[in-house]
Amino acid sequence: MIDSNQILGGNSLKKIIAKPVGMFELFYDLVFVYVISRITAMIHHPVNGSIPLVTFFQFLLVVIVVMQIWLYQVIYFNRYSKNQFLDIGGLGLNMFVAVYLANNINTEWQVTFHYFNIAMAVMILILFCQYLFVKADNNDKQAFLIILGIEFILIIVGLIIGYPVGIYFCISGYIVGFILPLFLKGMFKAERVNFPHLVERVSLIVIIAFGEAIVNLTSYFNSKTPLVYAAFLFLSLVLMFASYVVLSDKLIDHHQISKGFVLMYSHIAIVVAILLSTVAILYLQVHDINKTFLFFLIIFSMALYYFSLAINQVYNKSECRFSIRNLLTLLLIFALGVSYLWVVIKSKIGISICLLIWNLLFFLEFYIKGNKNEFR
């Protein structure tokens, strides 16, 4: 296994050797195909024409919880893994528990309180042991042990107290696991991060999220629904994904030393945006959906998705950084899309066309930026 710190070249040109994504890592991701489908199911069915606010916040929290577990495992493999027994064994155990966790993802937290949180506690304990026993610089892994240790203790306290008071301790633990890394940022060593490996790993969770979108889009492929709806919505998803591909493959400089905080946190938002876009597409078929709610759901998911892509420009190659003009162009595209959507919000075909044109314009802006030499 290649050390993440190996660099080729002199001072003028440094090229980090990418750590290959292992087969066991890819195998681990398969469980999260099922997990993400269970998360999406939380908001599949609108209530009185919309998503209740409580349900929406439950959805957001579960995404954060699941993504942080996935990311802590990704970071461990990125920084420390040499595919030894501790690495593969811990990964396998977490996969097993993740399936149990997924089966207890729903909006009836009082029913699945113990099952869900016990599964989370076990997964965090496994991660804690991996970070504890791996042979690495103690100063570098200390922050992970602090975060996972506090999170584990709060979940255990919550489980002991029980529902409903205990749920607040569990939620506090998950928030600690999500936010505390930002406060301990100085304890993490950027030199330990293999940035090209990290970029590849987060791109794979995006592919899984888009896979969930495609699976749900299949409900449009039937003899009763005009093919034009399926075609326009399918092309919209393809263009959304294509914009991400341009960012990941063309714009981002993979060979840099970085802690990757913006990359990781922005990808949590990207997954949220894709899943919200997925349910928005499903809601087009719901006759009693609240059109105002649908309007704001679409613009929120679009804004979150493309803002999360744009913010990753901090990792772009120097010649691919967004200028003020580029950012203003993206804002103009967004504003035009919002205006057009408001006009056609009561028409299913109108919304489908709007999404297609909207995503096409965003894609063209990213594509031109990523292939600027071809347009000179």
Q: SS3 for 76-122, per residue?
A: HHHHCCCCCHHHHHHHHHHHHHHHHHHCCCCCCHHHHHHHHHHHHHH
Within this chain, do residues 337 and 205 fall inside the same structural domain, yes or no? yes
Q: Give me the domain span that covers residue 257.
A: 194-375
Asked whether residue 301 is assigned to any structural domain, the reply reads yes
Q: How far apart are CA 282 and CA 237, in angstroms?
A: 13
pLDDT for res 223: 83
pLDDT for res 12: 34
pLDDT for res 134: 87
Asked whether residue 3 is assigned to any structural domain, the reply reads no
Within this chain, do residues 113 and 155 fall inside the same structural domain, yes or no? yes
Which residues of the chain have a pLDDT value below 50? 1-13, 373, 375-376
pLDDT tens-digit map of 99-132: 999 999 999 999 999 999 999 999 999 999 999 9
Among 191, 206, 223, the domain-final residue is: 191
Q: How far apart are CA 292 and CA 239, in angstroms?
A: 25
pLDDT tens-digit map of 58-93: 999 999 999 999 999 999 999 998 878 888 999 999
Asked whether residue 38 is assigned to any structural domain, the reply reads yes
Asked whether residue 182 is assigned to any structural domain, the reply reads yes
- What is the domain count for the chain? 2
**Please, are residues 325 and 256 in contact by the beta-carbon 8 Å criterion?**
no
What are 117's two structure tokens?
Answer: 């949180």
Among 191, 212, 245, the domain-final residue is: 191
Within this chain, do residues 167 and 249 fall inside the same structural domain, yes or no? no
Q: Find the Cα–Cα–Cα–Cα dihedral 73, 261, 168, 122, rounded to 10°.
A: 10
**Please, are residues 233 and 355 in contact by the beta-carbon 8 Å criterion?**
yes
Among 176, 191, 206, the domain-final residue is: 191
pLDDT for res 319: 87
